[in-house]
A and B are shown apart, each in its own frame.
Chain A
Amino acid sequence: MSKVESHSLGAKLKGSGPRWALPRLRPALWQGLASFVVAAILWEFLARVVVDNPLFFTSLTDIAIRGVELWKSGELQTHIWVSFIEFAGGYFLAAIFGILGGICMAASKTARGFFDPWVSMLYATPILALGPLFILWMGIGVASKIAVIFLVSVFPILINTLVGLTTTDRILLDVARSLGATPQQIYMKVRMPAALPYIIAGLRLSVARALVGVVVAELFGARAGLGFLILMSAQSFDTAAMFVGVIALAVAGVGSVAALKWVEEKMAPWRFENVDD
């Protein structure tokens, strides 16, 4: 072992820390927290002193109180549960069909040529605009919501899977072939693992779209759910309850995106080298 090399390695390892530990609180995170606190104080001040009209702008404390009320009556849980079922159903189907579709399109040029125009077209189409049509077809229950959520979130997953599988670094394929790998081995041991970070990134992109899908689909007509809560509260001038719905959705969105981001970083730490520094 040369001195030069071991030195540079030592320096590198010290900097990166243990590989599988929970992330430490970085300065950026403290700054983020501070920014939230400032925003909360500002919100409270605006609501109580400047606007002083709970119909237009409700203070955070009033929202919290309304939230507790809704929780105690069991109403909030029902809405969260219904929205969750819609989200989970649509998103789960999107993940399965997105990944399988991506694999099929990556495997066959014919399939790619045949489906690519549809994928590109539907990905760019604002499918949410078709919400009323789905409600017409499938009723105001959970099924129509699952269909809408599926359609808005399937394409980022499919496209990322396809891109991940078809853009494998050439040198890695050469190495595997030179070591005598069969086409099946190249697929399972090189292409697939190389595509995994892309697939997870696709899943992360789709979470945000799926959540928008939940709200908008419910706005078109529903019996329960967070989007329904928002719509009903707004129509009955219950601004605090409306904010309860919005905040619940925001928490769900931020939480699931952060969770997938974390999985992504753990599964492909080499892709986040520069972000860490």
Chain B
Amino acid sequence: MTEAETSSPPKLSIRGLSKSFRKGEQTIEALRDLSVDIRKGEFVGIVGASGCGKTTMLRLIDGLTEPTSGTVLVDGKPLERPGEQLAFVFQQDGLLPWRTVMANTMFGPELQGQNKAQSISTAQRFLRLVGLTQFPRHFPHELSGGMRQRVNLARALTVGADILLMDEPFAALDAQTREIMQAELLRIWTDTRKTVLLVTHQIEEAVFLSDRVLVFTTRPGRLKDEVVIDLPRPRDLSIKRTTAFTRYTDYIWRAIEEEVRRSIDAELEQA
């Protein structure tokens, strides 16, 4: 790392972020004192057992949920309202069913007050980027799950934010489509140089995509381990069959295995 890079503030800086929810009588601590810095252009994967506060963390960063304590800094400055510097790709595609593919992709620019011609050209650019130019006038219910997720991604990109928050974006897809979408995401990331935070259940997805993988503990979510993925780029799907790759996935699996067991035990106790 050069000196200039170390001295400039990190792209995204999370300081002492905590979140507790009230659920009836109980208070549930979803996230405890999380601090992490993310460099510009870095691809960071986040894994952990279910209920480890991964999704909560993304929502806190985007400003969709208010933190109990802690701050989020973008380029060293506190975050303004959602939509400006951060884009969120949700697990469910969240496409407006009454809007066509084109109208859904134009939604962000339209909300920002761009005129129609501008919105259309922005939408077209990002639909081309995600490889979806043939179906601008189709409605979401006429598309496959993979295509809907492409529209979801294109829509998030139209906002022009530098940071992309992705919450298990491929979880609802079948295995083959998911692999293709992973490779597509790497291509898009290489083209756009975004800073990406990707939450996933799949360890191999995190290793394949990321520069660094953060491993979370079970509730309350804390940072348990941090693994730098030193695999060459550009990567293609064949890298998943190399020993270096499996060494990373094995290591991360061991790190979260204990957490997964704890989370299962906790669920059984509740039931």
Instruction: Using CB atoms and an 8 Å cutoff, list the residues of chain A in contact with chain B.
Output: 1-2, 4-5, 8-9, 12-13, 16, 19, 169, 171-172, 174-182, 185, 189-190, 193-194, 196, 267-270, 273
Contact = CB atoms under 8 A, between A and B. Distances in A.
B147 A178 contact: no
A196 B97 CA distance: 12
Given A12-B142, A270-B141, A171 B159 contact: no
Contacts of B108: 179-180
Nearest to A271: B97
B238 to A, nearest CB: 17
A172 to B, nearest CB: 6
B135 interface: yes
A174 B90 contact: yes
A178 B139 contact: no
Given A4-B176, A270-B139, A178 B88 contact: yes
Interface in B109-125: 110-112
Contacts of A2: 146, 177, 180
Contacts of B147: 5, 9
A196 B99 CA distance: 13
Nearest to A181: B111
How big is chain B's contact interface, by range? Answer: 35 or more
Contacts of A268: 97-98
A171 B134 contact: no
Contact of A1 (B62, B92, B134): B134
A180 B87 CA distance: 10
B107 interface: yes
Contacts of A175: 88, 90, 94, 96, 107, 155
Contacts of A181: 83, 111
A189 B111 CA distance: 9
A268 B147 CA distance: 20
Nearest to B97: A270
A180 B84 contact: yes
Contact of B142 (A16, A179, A182): A16
Contacts of B111: 176, 179-182, 185, 189
A181 B82 CA distance: 8
A169 B142 CA distance: 19
Interface secondary structure of B, over-half rule: loop
Provide the main secondary structure of the chain A interface: helix
A190 B141 contact: no
Contact of B83 (A5, A16, A178, A189): A178
B53 interface: no
A180 B97 CA distance: 19
Contacts of B96: 172, 175, 190, 193
A182 B83 CA distance: 10
A67 B12 CA distance: 79
Given A9-B147, A176-B111, A189-B110, 7 more contacts: A5-B144, A19-B139, A176-B107, A178-B64, A178-B86, A268-B97, A270-B140
A5 B112 CA distance: 32
Nearest to B82: A178
Contacts of B78: none
B28 interface: no
B233 interface: no
Closest 10 CB pairs of A and B: A180-B83, A270-B141, A175-B94, A178-B88, A270-B97, A171-B94, A179-B108, A8-B144, A5-B146, A181-B111
Contacts of A19: 139
Contacts of B131: 1
B81 interface: yes
